[in-house]
Amino acid sequence: MSTGRTTPDETESTGASTAETAATSQSTASTGETLLDVQNLKKYYDDDGLFGDPVQAVDGVSFDLRKGETLGVVGESGCGKTTLGRTILGLEEATDGSVIADGRDVTEISGAERREWQRDAQMVFQDPDSSLNDRMTVGEIIREPLDAHDWQTAEDRRARVFELIDKVGLREEHYYRYPHQFSGGQRQRIGIARALALEPEFIVLDEPVSALDVSVQARIINLLDRLQDDLGLTYLFIAHDLSVVRHICDRVAVMYLGNVVELGETEAVYTDPAHPYTVSLLSAIPGSFGPDRDRITLRGTPPSPRDPPQGCRFVTRCPAKVRPDEYDELSEAAWSSIESLHTVFRARANADESVLDRLKAMLGRSVREDVAETRTDLFGGLDLPSEVGSVIDEAVDRARTGDDEGAAELLREEFGSVCNAEQPDEHVVDADGRFSKCVRHQDGYDDPGAVIERRANR
Amino acid sequence: MATPTRTYAESEADALGERVSRNPRPALIWVGVSAFLLLLEAGAAVEFLLNVLGDFLRAVPQVGRVQAVVNLQEAAGNVPTLLSRETIPNRGYYNGQEYVGTFMGLAPGTAWQFRVGLIYAYSFALLAWTWVGYDWYRTHYRVADWTPRDDVVDRLRSHGWGLFGLAVVFMFFVLVVFAPAVSPTTVAANLADPYGHTMTYWTGSGTEEITVGQANLGAQSQGTPQENVGPWSYDKYGRFHPFGTLPSGKDLFTFIAHGARISLIIGLLSVGLSASVALILALVSAYYKGAVDLSVVLISDAVMGMPQLLLLIMLTVILSGTWIGKIYSGAFVLALIFAGTGWPAMWRSFRGPALQVSEQEWVDAAKAFGQSPTAIMRKHMLPYITGYLLVYGSMTLGGAIIAIAGLSFLGLGVNPPTPEWGRAVNAGQDYVATSSWHISLIPGILITLVVTGFNALGDGIRDAIDPESDSAGGEGEAGGRGGGA
List the domain boundaries for chain A.
8-249, 323-416
* Cβ of residue B6 closer than 8 Å to a chain A Cβ: yes
Number of cross-chain residue pairs from A and B with Cβ atoms under 8 Å apart: 91
Over the stretch B353-370, which tens digit does the pLDDT of each residue have?
A: 999 999 999 999 999 888
- Measured between beta carbons, the chain A residues lying within 8 angstroms of B386 are none
Distances (CA, A) of B322 to B265, B318, B325, B408: 20, 8, 5, 19
Nearest to A177 among B144, B362, B370 (CB): B144
* Cβ of residue B378 closer than 8 Å to a chain A Cβ: no
The Cβ of residue A405 has, within 10 Å, a number of other Cβ atoms equal to 15
Determine the Cα–Cα distance for residues B459 and B305; give it in Å rounded to an integer.
Answer: 28
- How are beta strands B99-100 and B93-94 bridged, if at all? antiparallel
Is the pLDDT assigned to residue A1 strictly greater than 60? no
* Cβ of residue B145 closer than 8 Å to a chain A Cβ: yes
Cβ-defined contact of A127 to B361 (cutoff 8 Å): yes
**B300 and B219 assigned to the same domain:** no
Is the pLDDT assigned to residue A27 strictly greater than 50? no
- Measured between beta carbons, the chain B residues lying within 8 angstroms of A154 are none
The Cβ of residue A302 has, within 10 Å, a number of other Cβ atoms equal to 19
The pLDDT of residue A346 = 81
Is the pLDDT assigned to residue B56 strictly greater than 80? no
Using beta carbons and an 8 Å cutoff, which residues of A are at the interface with B?
89, 91, 114-115, 118-119, 122-123, 125-127, 130-137, 139, 144-145, 148-149, 158, 162, 171-173, 175-178, 180-181, 183, 191, 194-195, 197-198
Over the stretch B240-293, which tens digit does the pLDDT of each residue have?
A: 999 999 998 999 999 999 999 888 888 899 999 999 999 999 999 999 998 999
Cβ-defined contact of B379 to A133 (cutoff 8 Å): yes
Smallest CA–CA separation between B383 and chain A, in Å?
7
- How are beta strands A251-256 and A70-74 bridged, if at all? parallel
A8-249 belongs to which CATH class?
alpha beta
Cβ-defined contact of B368 to A118 (cutoff 8 Å): yes
Cβ-defined contact of B369 to A144 (cutoff 8 Å): yes
In this structure, is residue B323 part of a structural domain? yes
Is the pLDDT assigned to residue A212 strictly greater than 70? yes
ipTM of the complex: 0.79
The pLDDT of residue B303 = 93
Is the pLDDT assigned to residue B199 strictly greater than 70? yes
Q: Which of A325-334, B132-141, B362-371 has the lowest mean pLDDT?
A: A325-334
In this structure, is residue B116 part of a structural domain? no
The Cβ of residue A110 has, within 10 Å, a number of other Cβ atoms equal to 9
- Measured between beta carbons, the chain B residues lying within 8 angstroms of A8 are none
A404: which residues sit within 8 A by CB, 6+ positions away? A345, A346, A348, A349, A398
Structural domain count, chain B:
2
Grouping H, G, I as helix, E, B as strand and the rest as coil, residue B451 is helix
Determine the Cα–Cα distance for residues A81 and B482; give it in Å rounded to an integer.
Answer: 51
In this structure, is residue B446 part of a structural domain? yes
* CA-closest candidate to residue B224, choices B435, B441, B431: B435
Determine the Cα–Cα distance for residues B413 and B420; give it in Å rounded to an integer.
Answer: 10
Smallest CA–CA separation between A306 and chain B, in Å?
21
- Measured between beta carbons, the chain A residues lying within 8 angstroms of B362 are 130-133
Structural domain containing residue B293: 253-465
DSSP secondary structure string, A31-94? HT-EEEEEEEEEEEESTTSTTSSPEEEEEEEEEEEETT-EEEEE-STTSSHHHHHHHHHTSS--
In this structure, is residue B117 part of a structural domain? no
Smallest CA–CA separation between A183 and chain B, in Å?
9
Task: Please state, rounded to an integer, the average pLDDT across all residues of chain A.
Answer: 83
- Measured between beta carbons, the chain B residues lying within 8 angstroms of A125 are 361, 364-365
**B319 and B202 assigned to the same domain:** no
* CATH code where residue B418 lies: 1.10.3720.10
Is the pLDDT assigned to residue B196 strictly greater than 80? yes
DSSP secondary structure string, B188-206? IIIII-GGG-EEEEE-SSS
In this structure, is residue B83 part of a structural domain? no
Helix H or strand E encompassing B348: helix B331-358
In this structure, is residue B17 part of a structural domain? no
Domain boundary among B217, B233, B250: B250
**Most confident region among A16-25, A109-118, B86-95, B117-126 by mean pLDDT:** B117-126
B215: which residues sit within 8 A by CB, 6+ positions away? B194, B199, B201, B235, B237, B239, B249
Smallest CA–CA separation between B154 and chain A, in Å?
17
**B230 and B316 assigned to the same domain:** no
**B286 and B221 assigned to the same domain:** no
Q: Is B314 left (phi over 0), alpha (psi -120 to 50) or beta?
A: alpha
In this structure, is residue B427 part of a structural domain? yes
| Angle between helical axes of A404-415 and A386-400 (0-180°, round to 10) | 160
Where residue B62 falls among pLDDT bands split at 50, 70, 90?
A: low
Cβ-defined contact of B6 to A173 (cutoff 8 Å): yes
Is the pLDDT assigned to residue A152 strictly greater than 70? yes
Taking CA atoms, what residue in B is nearest to A198?
B369
Is the pLDDT assigned to residue B480 strictly greater than 50? no
In this structure, is residue B332 part of a structural domain? yes
**B277 and B398 assigned to the same domain:** yes
**B263 and B209 assigned to the same domain:** no
Q: Which of A47-56, A143-152, A439-448, B352-361 has the lowest mean pLDDT?
A: A47-56
- How are beta strands B99-100 and A234-239 bridged, if at all? unpaired
Percent of chain A with pLDDT over 90: 35
**B429 and B304 assigned to the same domain:** yes
Is the pLDDT assigned to residue B11 strictly greater than 60? no
Where residue A392 falls among pLDDT bands split at 50, 70, 90?
A: confident
Cβ-defined contact of A177 to B3 (cutoff 8 Å): yes
Q: Which of A147-161, B213-227, B320-334 has the lowest mean pLDDT?
A: B320-334
Smallest CA–CA separation between B381 and chain A, in Å?
9
- Measured between beta carbons, the chain A residues lying within 8 angstroms of B8 are 172-173, 175-176
Over the stretch B236-251, which tens digit does the pLDDT of each residue have?
A: 888 999 999 999 899 9
Cβ-defined contact of B362 to A131 (cutoff 8 Å): yes
Q: What is the mean pLDDT of residues A112-138?
A: 90
**B308 and B322 assigned to the same domain:** yes
Cβ-defined contact of B13 to A123 (cutoff 8 Å): no
**B231 and B258 assigned to the same domain:** no
**B222 and B272 assigned to the same domain:** no
The Cβ of residue B25 has, within 10 Å, a number of other Cβ atoms equal to 10
**B245 and B390 assigned to the same domain:** no
- Which has the higher per-residue pLDDT, A20 or A159? A159
Determine the Cα–Cα distance for residues A456 and A90; give it in Å rounded to an integer.
Answer: 44
Nearest to B13 among A136, A158, A191 (CB): A158
**B272 and B235 assigned to the same domain:** no
Q: In degrees rounded to 5, what are phi and psi of residue B465?
A: -75, -40
* CA-closest candidate to residue A442, choices A455, A430, A431, A426: A426
**Most confident region among B178-182, B232-236, B375-379 by mean pLDDT:** B375-379
Determine the Cα–Cα distance for residues A187 and A174; give it in Å rounded to an integer.
Answer: 11
Smallest CA–CA separation between A124 and chain B, in Å?
8
